[in-house]
Chains A and B, each alone.
Chain A
């Protein structure tokens, strides 16, 4: 069986374009820019993204009836808020101390 490169490429293009500028990618930019461990950020985000799409593909169209995706998104929203407020507080605290 020939490798279905066309389907592979079309899936890649669709998902990659859909992800560009997405909230997830913005979050990755944020975490990467403010953390000194880009390797861990890359490994964590790549694992989570592949896992999430695996769950989505395995569950098929019935995902929303299996998992309360709204509640998961709400939890993610709280996580975003917490990280954001932590960064703002940290930047304000650092601005008070004189640089080297």
Chain B
């Protein structure tokens, strides 16, 4: 495995390549993942229902945006808190397993709701 790590930045002891990734790279990765996962999700359904009933879509949009910003802030703070509690290797392994499970579940949902499969 060590020969494959030549291209990976390992000069900082304990710092792995992805943790040392630039601000822009982290921003783009997070934004893309979250945007794709969130499109057509229940948040939008709730927002659409409220805007249809109230006739004030701007207010609904403002409320929904504030809630989404707060929820992502909660997620970030929770992640930093876990990072202080757990060893990096353990956290990475747990997080990796969680992401794989979420990916499988999300993929299964997407495939099951394809028009051809219903």
Contact = CB atoms under 8 A, between A and B. Distances in A.
Interface of A: 4, 7-16, 18-20, 22-57, 60-61, 63-64, 67, 69-96, 99-100
B39 A46 contact: no
Contact of A90 (B29, B92, B104, B113): B92
Contact of A81 (B56, B103, B110): B103
B72 interface: yes
A74 B20 contact: no
A10 B50 contact: yes
Contacts, number: 327
User: Which of A24, A38, A85 has the largest count of B CB atoms less than 10 A from its CB?
Assistant: A24
Interface string B29-54: 11111111111111110111011001
Given A14-B50, A15-B68, A76-B37, A57 B91 contact: no
The secondary-structure label for the interface of chain B is: helix
Interface string B68-108: 11111111111110110000111111011111111111110
A39 B103 CA distance: 24
Given A32-B76, A72-B39, A53 B65 contact: yes
Given A15-B68, A45-B76, A48-B38, A79 B33 contact: yes
A43 B40 contact: no
A16 B59 CA distance: 15
A96 to B, nearest CB: 8
B95 A57 contact: no
B18 A35 contact: yes
